[in-house]
Amino acid sequence: MSQQAYLERLKALSTRLVLLQKPIRILDAIKWPAELEADFRAAKGKKLPALDKDFYQQYKFNFDPDQLYLALGELKQDVKRQLGRGDALGQILHVTIEQYQIVIELLRARGTPQFGHFSRLLYGSASDRIRGDRKTLRQMGERLCHIFSLPAVEHLNRPYNQHIDAQQAVDILQQRMNQYFAPGAVRVEISDNIVSDAAAGGDCIKVNRRAFFSELDLQVLEVHEGWVHIGTTLNGRQQPWATWLSVGSPRITAIQEGMAVLMETLTFSSFPQRARRISDRVVAVDLAEQGADFCEVYQYFLERGISEHDSYRVTQRVFRGGTLAGGSVFTKDISYVKGFVENVNFIRSAIQSGVPEIIPMLFLGKVTLDDLPLLYERYLEGVVIGPKYLPAMFRDLNGLYVWFGFSSGMSLTNLARVQQHFNKLFKKLPATEPIYEARTDGEWE
């Protein structure tokens, strides 16, 4: 088979997957009505929400699960037959197709004990270990929760006023998307059908009509939803042959969400309370996986000083689609911490190994870390094209190299001893108030 014939087959098979997966909407199929929060809080968090298998059956799919499962199976066989069992790109495509078959099994099992099994197959478990390390995600989550709950947080706790309404947020984000992407390439619009404050899909950011935002919230949305989620989608759509890189099966979730959180950090858009919420999600998943029910997980966060609203939100995210008695839950929310840690370790390792040029491939499309070496080889061969939309610090790697180089070097420091040294100095300081104080005109400085 000639190279051109191979590429044409790869594109045809890839495009079939893009079309087959299009009607699958995992989050839509497991979302809860917004009014459930008020009912739950009115019952003082003591009564489980009235959600079971029958509730989820009310959601009507835009596809026939049985037919789609069979169609994916046929595509999987065609990939083997047409590309060969040993073809590396074909193997990535094959695994991605299998992921969508498991997604169908997940959606069939909503509200049952089997739901958690399929969720762990797709997203992993809070008891999983960090790649290349002995620590579990739960241990990492607890450590981060501790860091982002230290007394120092209160000294940084500047009140960011959420005074920007949905329409204003749409206008601001649309302007920023037009600046980062080609004008008109990305839409920002108001939605009445999302539970979260905002969400990205394809080339569109949806903003909840009922939500209000601070300027910092919009910075987070700009880089998290825009630069990463939409940016990698559009970069994937630029691919001439491997068109499946424009769609995200669950196998890429950790790298996507972790990169989005990393971009929040590198652009100084994040803040301790948000980082704490992300870390709390890992703990919530682990508690629920170990058998805590919805009320118990909710109470756990209340007792640790989290507001009723935020305690409900973090708990609801974990139990959607599963069983409220615990054990069978949606484990996607481990992806933020898992992906952040693994992306950082990947970048540091690429620098240490002398191949920093592979780092921009993280934005090539919807990828996993295991895919990147092969995709980089195909990039060098011209089969895959580099990312069009790339954050500035990934376009010119000098600053990123120095940042991660210092980070790697400082990891050799014994932080406990260093902290012991400086604590002797800090103990002499007088008690202080938070550094941000209100002026008479109501502003903060």
Query: What was the pLDDT predicted at 103?
Result: 98
* Positions of the chain with pLDDT lower than 70, given as ranges: 155-160, 432-445
| Residue 361 within any structural domain of the chain | yes
Q: Which of 354, 417, 387 is nearest to 228 (CA)?
A: 387
Domain range holding 133?
A: 25-62+109-445
In the chain, the amino acid numbered 384 is V
| Residue 352 within any structural domain of the chain | yes
| Residue 207 within any structural domain of the chain | yes
| Residue 16 within any structural domain of the chain | no
Residue 155 CB-half CA count within 13 A: 7
Burial status of residue 79 (CB atoms within 10 A of its CB: 0-12, 13-18, 19 or more) = buried
Whole-angstrom Cα distance, residue 340 to residue 338? Answer: 6
| Residue 1 within any structural domain of the chain | no
Reported as a single tens digit per residue, the pLDDT across 161-170 is: 788 999 999 9
Query: What was the pLDDT predicted at 444?
Result: 40
Q: How many domains does the chain have?
A: 1
63 within 8 A of 23, measured Cβ to Cβ: yes
Query: What was the pLDDT predicted at 152?
Result: 73
Give me the sign of the Cα torsion angle 111, 114, 118, 120: positive
Concatenated DSSP letters of 293-343: -HHHHHHHHHTTT--HHHHHHHHHHHHTTS-TTSSS---GGGHHHHHHHHH
| Residue 70 within any structural domain of the chain | no
| Residue 417 within any structural domain of the chain | yes
Whole-angstrom Cα distance, residue 139 to residue 279? Answer: 10
Query: What was the pLDDT predicted at 330?
Result: 97
Query: What was the pLDDT predicted at 441?
Result: 43
Whole-angstrom Cα distance, residue 323 to residue 362? Answer: 35
Reported as a single tens digit per residue, the pLDDT across 69-106 is: 999 999 999 999 999 989 999 999 999 999 999 999 99
Give me the sign of the Cα torsion angle 405, 408, 410, 412: negative
Query: What was the pLDDT predicted at 421?
Result: 86
Query: Which residue do the tokens 């399929």 mark?
Result: 118
Query: What was the pLDDT predicted at 329?
Result: 96
Whole-angstrom Cα distance, residue 306 to residue 407? Answer: 31
Q: What pTM was estimated for this model as a whole? A: 0.91
Which pair of tokens denotes residue 49? Answer: 């929400």
Tally of CB atoms within 10 A around 220: 21
| Residue 332 within any structural domain of the chain | yes
Q: Where are the beta strands (DSSP E) in 48-177?
A: none
Whole-angstrom Cα distance, residue 273 to residue 321? Answer: 27
